[in-house]
Structure 1
Amino acid sequence: MSSVQICFGEVRHTRLRPARNAFAYGVYFIRLPMRAIGAAPFGGKLFSRNRFNLLSFHDRDHGDGTLTLVDWIDGLLRREGIDDADGEIWLQTFPRVLGYVFNPVSFWFCHAKDGRLRAVLCEVNNTFGERHYYLLDTGMAMPFGVELAARKVFHVSPFCAVEGGYRFRFMHALRTHGGREQERITARIEHHDAAGTLLQTSICGTAHVLSDAVALKAFFSFPLMTFNVVARIHWQALRLWIKRVPFFTKPMPPSSELSR
């Protein structure tokens, strides 16, 4: 049975124009094998499912709030003509820390029965309480590392117009450390417009099987991490404002919550 994972790594972000702005922060995120765990609790003392704890995951933070998460993602994929993502579905997201979370983006890695990646659903949230899904689908199983693309339709930052598109690249590697094999997960996103690449973002991490010791390490290595996510978003916005980066008012949200 696949296990819940906590991944330790970092987020990097670089804006190339009209003023350069770059930062990197240490983070951790979780990876959940949704079919394997079903609706079961995690079983630890410090990391809970659907109840308050040091760290926690709440099903209602994702999906439509009416179906189980597996039924919801399966239904969404079928409606979009994807009926062969019948392998494991890994959800990569931030956990709640002391009951609080804000996830700028979560990834649903949907695999075929033979283990190959079939599609990726990118679940994007903005600070206005809105959510949008980008479904990345090539029409067939694909290897990690292939470039995937989507047209930008959802407002995320007041310093970026809703135009252009995204290029995604997801990597999954195994490496040996201390005599043990570890998974290394990387997601890279480029936002481009008519003038070329505007933003480069990545999140990467090395996976560890969930345990109370690993949860404790995560909590104290990056105290109040999810609170800091929001604080850092506003701090970087202030830096862009000081650098006189143009400001765009928020447009109406897209008519559909899903685009491909």
Structure 2
Amino acid sequence: MSASLADTLEGGEMLHLPARVTHARRGGLRHAFAYHVDYLLLDPGRVRPRAFFSRNRFNLFALHDKDHGGPRGQGRGADWAREVFAGAGLHEVTVALMTQPRILGYWFTPVSFWLALRGDALLAVIAEVNNTFGQRHSYLCHLPGFTPIAPGDDLTAAKVFHVSPFQDVRGTYHFRFAVSGDTAAIVIRQVDGSEGLLATLHGTFFPATPRHLLGAALKRPGGAMRVIVLIYWNALRLKLKGAGYRPLPPPPDHEVSR
């Protein structure tokens, strides 16, 4: 019998997800784009070192605990995620992080996902959202009683965090998660009357061998820097289409929406 996803990650393995990401704005002003990006799935405290990847040290790819879990730039990594899950009543789970890593020291990712796993069952997710203004907010997603999340389950949260200067902070997020040891498919739909946004992420996992990591860097050079350039490029396209600019509001007074 093959190991469960939780056992694989607790054993120090790391998975590489070359993912296709799409964004489509709905309503009166339509805009859509797609790009490919590299995510890693790992248990931060147990991941084994390997060529081209380090934890809390400079490398081609790196994960720094301060980049995740808690205030931006002052994160506490998986300890923070465990506290959030425990505070909601979920204990004794494997906590894994799916995120875009630093590349050559540069870091930015629009959204990372903390996963609460028990075997192959996904019990809860923290969607850790960053904007380009240095702010962060997280959304805790789970079913009543922490029933395992199935691909068709619709998990909702009120939008309370400023992400795009071309959208209001209102409406509802609808999350869908399908994560296994083979594939990941995540859908985030924001609904605000006739307006909204549909974002998707999907791809197939591979063992994060040095060969795969080096290949990713060569196929998609720049990593997180490339992603933020694409964000600004599409912001310019939206502005040229006539999208109205919203000033930056204060961040929410709470760190996690539950």
TM above 0.5, yes or no, is yes
**Map of 2:36 onto structure 1:** 26
Aligned residues: 244
Check whether the contact 1:144–1:172 (CA below 8 A) recurs between aligned residues.
Answer: no
- Pairing partner for 1:76 from 74, 80, 84: 84
**Map of 2:142 onto structure 1:** 137
Cα distance between partner residues in 1 of 2:114 and 2:193 = 29
Alignment pair present for 1:88 and 2:86: no
Cα distance between partner residues in 1 of 2:103 and 2:184 = 22
Root-mean-square deviation (Å): 1.9
**Map of 1:245 onto structure 2:** 243
Cα distance between partner residues in 2 of 1:198 and 1:88 = 34
1:95-114 equivalent positions in 2, closer than 5 A? 95-112=101-118, 114=119
Secondary structure of the corresponding residue to residue 216 of structure 1: helix
Check whether the contact 1:28–1:205 (CA below 8 A) recurs between aligned residues.
Answer: no
Deviation per CA, 1:133-164: give whole Å up to 9, x if none: 11112222223311111100000111010000
Deviation at 1:76, TM superposition (A): 1.7
Cα distance between partner residues in 1 of 2:78 and 2:61 = 22
**Map of 1:178 onto structure 2:** none
- Pairing partner for 2:126 from 121, 136, 150: 121
Deviation at 1:69, TM superposition (A): 3.0
1:7-22 equivalent positions in 2, closer than 5 A? 7-22=17-32
| Cα 1:201–1:30 shift into 2, 3 Å | same
Alignment pair present for 1:166 and 2:173: yes
| Cα 1:184–1:68 shift into 2, 3 Å | same
Deviation at 1:201, TM superposition (A): 0.5
Deviation at 1:41, TM superposition (A): 5.8
Deviation per CA, 1:63-92: give whole Å up to 9, x if none: 248886333222122223x234x2222211
Give the share of equivalent positions with the same residue, in percent.
38
Cα distance between partner residues in 1 of 2:201 and 2:155 = 16
Q: Which amino acid aligns with 1:184?
A: T
| Cα 1:136–1:41 shift into 2, 3 Å | closer
| Cα 1:231–1:22 shift into 2, 3 Å | same
Secondary structure of the corresponding residue to residue 143 of structure 1: coil
Q: Which amino acid aligns with 2:105?
A: G
Runs of at least 5 residues in structure 1 that lack an aligned partner in the other structure:
175-182
Q: Which amino acid aligns with 2:251?
A: P
The two structures have a TM-score, normalised by structure 1, of 0.88
Cα distance between partner residues in 1 of 2:69 and 2:160 = 20
Deviation at 1:219, TM superposition (A): 0.5
| Cα 1:122–1:202 shift into 2, 3 Å | same
The two structures have a TM-score, normalised by structure 2, of 0.88
Secondary structure of the corresponding residue to residue 205 of structure 2: strand
**Map of 2:197 onto structure 1:** 199
**Map of 1:149 onto structure 2:** 156
1:57-72 equivalent positions in 2, closer than 5 A? 57-64=63-70, 69-72=77-80
**Map of 1:49 onto structure 2:** 55
Runs of at least 5 residues in structure 2 that lack an aligned partner in the other structure:
1-6
Secondary structure of the corresponding residue to residue 239 of structure 1: helix
Identify which range, 70-79 or 221-230, moves more after superposition.
70-79
